Amino acid sequence: MSQINQIPTIWTTGWTEIFNTGTWRSAFPEYQLRPSPCHNACPIEGEIPVWIQQLKNKDFYDSWLTLVKNNPFPAVTGRVCHHPCQSACNRNHYDDTVAVNAMEQFIGDMALVENWSLPAPLPEINLKIAVVGAGPAGLSAAFHLRQAGCQVTVLEAQAEPGGTLRYGIPSYRLPKDVLAQEINRLIETGVKIVTNSPVAFPGDLALLKQTYDVIYLAVGAQKPKKLPLLDYTASWVLDGLSYLKQINCQQAPVIGNRVLVVGGGSAAMDVARTARRFGKEVALIALENRGILPAHPAEIKEALEEGIKLYDGAMITAFREIERGLAFTCVEVTLDPNAPVGVLRPLPIEGSDFTIEADTIITAIGQNPDLSNLDNFIKTGNSLIIVDENNATSQPFIFAGGDATSQERFVSFAIGMGKKAASIILNSLGRKQECQSEIQHGKIPEVSYSSINTFYFPSMPKLQEVVLGVEDRIENFKETKIKINVEQALLEANRCFSCGHCLKCDNCFYFCPDMAVTKNLAKEDYEILEQYCKGCGLCVEECPRGVLALKEEIR
Amino acid sequence: MSNPTKMLLTGNHAVSYGVMLARPKVIPVYPITPQTPILEKLSELQVLGELDADIMTPESEHSAMAACITASLSGVRVFTASASQGLMLMHEMLHYASGARAPIVMANVNRTIGSPWGFWPDQTDSLAQRDTGWIQYYTESSQESLDTVIQAFKTAEQVSLPAMVIHEAFYVSHSLEPVEIPSQALVDQYLPPFQPEHMLDPSRGESWGNVVNQDMYYRHRQGLGEAMDKVPEASILADREWQTLTGRGYGIIEEYRCEGAELVIVTMGSMAGTARETVDNMRKSGLSIGLVKVKLFRPFPVETLRLALVGIPKAIVLDRNFSPGVGGILHQELKAALYGMAAAPEIYGYLAGVGGLNVSPAKIEEFVCMALKEEKPSINSIWVR
Amino acid sequence: MRTYEIEEYKVFNSGHQACPGCGEALAIRFIVNTLGPNTVGVVPPSCIAIISGPQPYSSMRIPIYQTTLEASAASAAGIKRALSARGKEDVTVIAMAGDGGTYDIGFQALSSAAERNEDIIYFCLDNEGYMNTGAQKSSSTPHYAYTSSTPGGKPTRKKNLTEIMAAHQIPYVATATVGFPDDLVNKVQKAKQIKGTKVITVLTPCLDGWGIADNAAVKISRLAVQTGIFPLYEVENGDRYTINHGSQGLPVTAYLSQQRRYRHLTQEQIDHIQADVDYQWQLFLRKSKVNSFG
């Protein structure tokens, strides 16, 4: 008889570690960096959970570096961005969105106070790029191209760079010195900005093509739309674009005491609130009802607080001169639901006529790019420069972006377009760009609210964003937004779920009943032991932010 | 104490003194008539500072034995005592103890088992535990109880099996006798400190009690059996050494005046004392009667009994116990032990004194005469009174 | 944001035979890894015994003694007394038993050990049934729950072991659960420092017995607390109550609806459970206020 296995019958001396319980499982957990909804909504593809986490850890400088990797103007966008990130934020489903925008401003402002510089660009390469227009799109493209080492010259028609940021948005929303400081940083990295240098179409373009390898047209939408009803040569008719531009150049155009502003967007609000600051009695008339006005709800609220009278869902049908000023006949309207997308077709409501008296009327009903003399040289259409998915125009080596090519009139969109254009331009010139964003856009599913384990996030109200009281702001152009302090920023940063971005909270490590989740100290990462993991999924469930997912294992 | 002391002690108190000398460290115990004087005396000795042991008083005998096993496995010498119902309640743990190879020593005071209730001497309680893997010694006097407790520790620790030292209610437990209590120095010389090979101790890192497979269980039982098989020899050596030290030895059986006997009485416990008188009386009358007292009941000393009874024409077994469907337990065991032996005696089994009924020397003489008269014994045990 | 910082000794080994996602295994991990190597444990027949490992392999790097079902407290007391007699007073002796071995067959021994203030930590890993033998009822099974021996739902309420043990006025009694591991670890550390009998009842959801998903043990245990069904609290010396995590007013349906063992409940039964939970919680608050001296 063979030797019977002499395993002792009592007094245990071995460990269960020899058992490969990994054979039990049918799925194995995988760590994956996943895009957050805020990142996916951001036109600039900002790594929002990353810089918020850095802020939370008081690594303010690193937070700023992460921000400017994509967007060189955080102090600007922190003030004027329409923050689609906040609309997309998963925390909306829980208690309230995370105040991303306010934190961005906080970091941007700190950078200005601390006088931080943008990272030095890569060594200079023999690529010359001409950017036409120093607005947000042009400056963004210039920044990214310069970072890659290109020799970049920005040609700006006006006396100062900034475009809409400089000449459109009033200083109570965006102080001029903030803008100037952030633009100066670009110049410090070697971007050449030549002001007072309009580029005549098409002749100058041909000249530029001889000196530069690529041209990027970012000329914006500088041609105001006009109401056919009005004669813009009359002294009492102004277009909002030039009104704001004059104000932003410290000039005060002569306008009457009672001002009627036409339009429902941010520009109209800017016009109305600017006029109000000069002590004018201001009324605003717009086709859309209050609920669907294109302007930001906060802007509308502040405008109403400042005493602007709102006539929403109405339009002007006629006007006549009266003893003092003008009388505008208006009628209430609804918008035709069957109108094509993007087209506002007002339907007057019978018997709802009313009159508004005013001394001056200023229209801010939209802008188009000035394409005169350009159409024969470059393909245009729908009042825009036509570009393909690579931002290329019909002319070789000429790209375009910003308001000139798109009806999406948001600062962040323009900055995003400039960044993407830079990447495409470099690729087209044979310079392989490594994808700046770690997350392959669109390839990995974004983290939805169902992946968030809210137990780990005690409910906390969003930080209160406060503006100056009406009395304090109505007679001046002081910045209306009150800056948040560091305590507020840190508290708010704590509210970020950090969707899809592992914070090494160790939950996966702690909640494994089999100790199969280990910490690889050398790699500073987690490692799941194949021989023990039973595939229960506790780690996935207890991950607060959806970094883990179970992948089916086929044997 | 360096010299032996002589005291008048009951069987129970004698056990207490024996235990004290053996130096156990933990004594989990639950009271039950007629065992209580054992634990009362131990408590008294502890309070007086003469017994350095932790006496634990749990809520039941089952818990007491559970604590005995773990205390023993944690490396200390352990003692407990019980009787009747308490022993029955412990039954599960008795198996557990022998399976754990824990060398616990327990004194059991034989008492009738309910129902119906009774407090009388009857050995069925401990005999009903004969399959549990415990060594069993039956004593007939206070002195023997004291001496056997100390010997039991020595043997138990040598073979790593638990042992019971058993005496009957009242006849032994409560009867006063002069007892010689040996000195502590003598007992220390005889009984070395308990040093088990395995222990529950963080410094050892071994665990006990995990589920085993069939092969392991089989081997475990084999091992246990092998240890049991060593007990007769170990007991004899322990008893011999004790005799050398104290002058008192008992053997694993005692053969009393069996030379040339035509009939030998075989019995256990206090009945042996009564039978001794009967043997003397009948020998005086010219009848050759002898007595074999079985002291070591488990393991059953088959070889020794065979040697003692070969060639004896008749043997009567006096059983102060009863197993329904079988009869007298000693009767059954003896028949099995002698089965197939040439020149084995005819065995008569008598159920004498079941339930504590008094059995006098005269009565035993009657039983002997009854057996001498009959030609062939009944296969079954006979009720006699 | 809640994060955990738990220091662990390496006592619990991987490779044990617990079901994937087992709440009890998680509890064992936190208990033994907090107590450390200078510990001896007693385990009766239960899932814990299976998790302890088959001969000759152990899942714990401390000596574990497997006892009979009714004898955990007595066995642990025996070890503690023996080790103390050998001069090793600093060894922590624990029992880890299921609710069967604690509320039912093991209750007598536990009550007795508590009366003698035996210096042990007694952990009841409570999965509310005799789960290891196929989910039969125990006196810890809650009202109306399905078990294989109460297929129509248990007709009686769950016994309140913690209050019973508190009435013994032992130094420390507490409840804990795997959904609050930091709380459990704190209690283990606290118990380790106290002399006398300490009883901690840990609610450990059983995936198969309760009918919940493999990844749900932690989540369910939290719901038990947040609905007020299983408040986490401590009682020191029988009269000082501290509530660590109490009811947050979540309706019991949030908890019941996730478990197959409650799938058969009628609305009347659910209402009854809710009313009972509300009543017990008020009673508990009153009692803890009255009994708490600070």
B34 Cβ under 8 Å from any chain C Cβ = no
CA distances from A550 to A214, C19, C20, C82 (A): 47, 17, 14, 49
Q: Do C57 and A9 touch (CB under 8 A)?
A: no
Q: Quick check: A2 pLDDT over 50? A: no
- Of all residues in chain A, the percent with pLDDT exceeding 90 is 83
Smallest CA–CA distance from C22 into chain A, residue: A513
Q: Do A15 and C21 touch (CB under 8 A)?
A: no
Q: Do C55 and B200 touch (CB under 8 A)?
A: no
Q: Confirm whether the ipTM is greater than 0.90.
A: yes
pLDDT for position A438? 56
Query: Phi then psi for A143, rounded to 5 degrees?
Result: -55, -50
Facing B212 at nearest CB: one of A4, A9, A13: A9
C248 Cβ under 8 Å from any chain A Cβ = no
Give all chains having 3 or more CB-to-CB distances under 8 Å with chain A. B, C
Q: Which of B54, B74, B76 to mutate to test the interface with C (most CBs of C within 10 A)?
A: B74
Arithmetic mean of pLDDT, B372-383: 95
What burial class does residue C255 get, using C-beta atoms within 10 Å of its C-beta: 0-12 exposed, 13-18 middle, 19+ buried? buried
Q: Do B74 and C86 touch (CB under 8 A)?
A: yes
Q: Look up tokens 């920023």; give the residue.
A: A489
pLDDT for position A375? 77
Residues of B in contact with A4 (CB under 8 A): 215, 219
Rounded Cα–Cα distance for residues A206 and A374 (Å): 12
Q: Compute the nearest-CA separation of A11 from chain C (Å).
A: 7
Facing C59 at nearest CB: one of A16, A531, A537: A16
Q: Token pair of A129, please?
A: 């790029």
Q: Where are the beta strands (DSSP E) in A32-158?
A: 128-132, 151-155
Q: Do C2 and A16 touch (CB under 8 A)?
A: no
Please name the amino acid found at residue A322: I
Facing C20 at nearest CB: one of A16, A510, A536: A536
C97 Cβ under 8 Å from any chain B Cβ = no
With contact defined as beta carbons under 8 Å apart, do B159 and B122 qualify?
no
Q: Look up tokens 């094509």; give the residue.
A: A340
Rounded Cα–Cα distance for residues C202 and C185 (Å): 11
The 10s digit of each residue's pLDDT in A245-298 is: 999 998 888 899 999 999 999 999 999 999 999 999 999 999 999 999 999 999
> Comparing C-alpha atoms, which of C18, C210, C214, C175 is closest to residue A515?
C18
Residues of C in contact with A532 (CB under 8 A): 14-15
Of A3-12, B78-87, C139-148, the range with the lowest mean pLDDT is A3-12
Q: Compute the nearest-CA separation of A64 from chain B (Å).
A: 54
Q: Look up tokens 């109490």; give the residue.
A: C246
C3 Cβ under 8 Å from any chain A Cβ = yes
Q: Compute the nearest-CA separation of C58 from chain B (Å).
A: 7
Residues of B in contact with A13 (CB under 8 A): 205-206
The 10s digit of each residue's pLDDT in C103-132 is: 999 999 999 999 999 999 999 999 999 998
Rounded Cα–Cα distance for residues A32 and B262 (Å): 95
Higher pLDDT, A521 or C175: C175
Please name the amino acid found at residue B213: N
Arithmetic mean of pLDDT, B220-228: 97
Give all chains having 3 or more CB-to-CB distances under 8 Å with chain B. A, C
Q: Give chain C's end-to-end CA distance (angstroms, integer).
A: 29
With contact defined as beta carbons under 8 Å apart, do B350 and B318 qualify?
yes
In chain C the domains, ranked by start, together with CATH numbers, are 23-293 (3.40.50.970)
DSSP letter at A456 equals: G
Arithmetic mean of pLDDT, A508-521: 96
Q: Token pair of A37, please?
A: 């909804």
Q: Compute the nearest-CA separation of B176 from chain C (Å).
A: 34
Three-state DSSP at A390 gives coil
**Selected residues 46-75 of chain C with any CB under 8 Å from a CB in chain B:** 49-50, 52-58, 60-68, 70-71, 73-75
Smallest CA–CA distance from A534 into chain C, residue: C20
Domain B5-246 has CATH 3.40.50.720: no
Question: For residue A389, what are the contacts with CB-CB under 8 A and spacing of at least 6?
Answer: none
CA B352 from centre of chain: 19
**Selected residues 432-471 of chain A with any CB under 8 Å from a CB in chain C:** 455-458
pLDDT for position A252? 85
CA distances from A233 to A26, A275, A552, C11 (A): 77, 20, 72, 88
Angle at B286 between CA B282 and CA B287, to 5 degrees: 55
Q: Do A13 and B206 touch (CB under 8 A)?
A: yes
Smallest CA–CA distance from B224 into chain A, residue: A9
Q: Do C75 and B206 touch (CB under 8 A)?
A: no
Smallest CA–CA distance from B90 into chain C, residue: C71
What burial class does residue A465 get, using C-beta atoms within 10 Å of its C-beta: 0-12 exposed, 13-18 middle, 19+ buried? middle
Three-state DSSP at A532 gives coil
| Exposure string over A74-101, b if 16+ CB within 10 A, otherwise e | bbbbbbbbbbbbbebbbbeebeebbbbb
Q: Quick check: A348 pLDDT over 60? A: yes
pLDDT for position A439? 62
Rounded Cα–Cα distance for residues B313 and B307 (Å): 14
With contact defined as beta carbons under 8 Å apart, do C216 and C258 qualify?
yes
pLDDT for position A182? 97
Within chain B, which residue ranges are assigned CATH 3.40.50.920? 253-383
The 10s digit of each residue's pLDDT in A37-81 is: 999 999 999 999 999 999 999 999 999 999 999 999 999 999 999
B138 beta partners = B166
Within chain B, which residue ranges are assigned CATH 3.40.50.970? 5-246
Facing B68 at nearest CB: one of C52, C64, C78: C78
> Comparing C-alpha atoms, which of B205, A16, B89, B56 is closest to residue C65?
B205
Residues of A in contact with B217 (CB under 8 A): 9
Report chain B residues touching chain A, CB-CB < 8 A. 100-101, 198, 205-210, 212, 215-217, 219-220, 223
Facing C79 at nearest CB: one of B63, B71, B92: B71
Residues of B in contact with C50 (CB under 8 A): 211
Q: Quick check: C158 pLDDT over 50? A: yes
Q: Do C78 and B93 touch (CB under 8 A)?
A: no
Q: Compute the nearest-CA separation of B197 from chain C (Å).
A: 15
Q: Look up tokens 């306008």; give the residue.
A: A255
What is chain C's alpha carbon radius of gyration, rounded to the nearest angstrom? 18
For the domain covering B253-383, report its CATH number. 3.40.50.920
Q: Do B26 and C62 touch (CB under 8 A)?
A: no
Q: Do A10 and B215 touch (CB under 8 A)?
A: no
Rounded Cα–Cα distance for residues B293 and B250 (Å): 10
Rounded Cα–Cα distance for residues C209 and A452 (Å): 27
Rounded Cα–Cα distance for residues C103 and C37 (Å): 28
pLDDT for position B222? 96
Smallest CA–CA distance from B28 into chain C, residue: C78
Q: Do B74 and C82 touch (CB under 8 A)?
A: yes
Q: Do C58 and B210 touch (CB under 8 A)?
A: yes
Confidence of residue C288 (pLDDT cuts 50, 70, 90): confident
Considering Cα of A404, then A410, then A415, then A416, what sign does the dihedral take? negative
Q: Give chain A's end-to-end CA distance (angstroms, integer).
A: 39
Arithmetic mean of pLDDT, B20-40: 97
Smallest CA–CA distance from B197 into chain A, residue: A11
pLDDT for position A433? 65
Please name the amino acid found at residue B89: L
Report chain A residues touching chain B, CB-CB < 8 A. 4-5, 7, 9-13
Arithmetic mean of pLDDT, A315-327: 92
CA distances from C71 to B164, C92, C131 (A): 21, 18, 19
Confidence of residue A430 (pLDDT cuts 50, 70, 90): confident
Q: Compute the nearest-CA separation of B370 from chain C (Å).
A: 50
| Exposure string over A297-311, b if 16+ CB within 10 A, otherwise e | eebbebbeebebebb
Q: What is the pTM of this model?
A: 0.91
Ranges of H-type helices in A126-174: 136-147, 164-167
Q: Do C18 and A15 touch (CB under 8 A)?
A: no
Confidence of residue B115 (pLDDT cuts 50, 70, 90): very high
Give the β-pairing of B263-267 and B314-319.
Answer: parallel
Q: What is the mean pLDDT of chain B?
A: 97
Rounded Cα–Cα distance for residues A255 and A326 (Å): 13
Q: Token pair of C157, please?
A: 């309420």
> Comparing C-alpha atoms, which of B380, B362, B371, B157 is closest to residue B264?
B371
Q: Compute the nearest-CA separation of B219 from chain A (Å).
A: 7
Q: Quick check: C246 pLDDT over 90? A: yes
Ranges of H-type helices in chain C: 23-35, 47-52, 72-85, 107-115, 161-167, 181-193, 207-210, 217-226, 253-256, 267-291
Q: Do C14 and A541 touch (CB under 8 A)?
A: no
Rounded Cα–Cα distance for residues A546 and A36 (Å): 10
Residues of B in contact with A9 (CB under 8 A): 212, 216-217, 219-220, 223
pLDDT for position A1? 41
Smallest CA–CA distance from B198 into chain C, residue: C63
Q: Do A4 and B219 touch (CB under 8 A)?
A: yes
Question: For residue A462, what are the contacts with CB-CB under 8 A and spacing of at least 6?
Answer: A95, A96, A97, A98, A99, A492, A495
Q: Compute the nearest-CA separation of B136 from chain A (Å).
A: 24
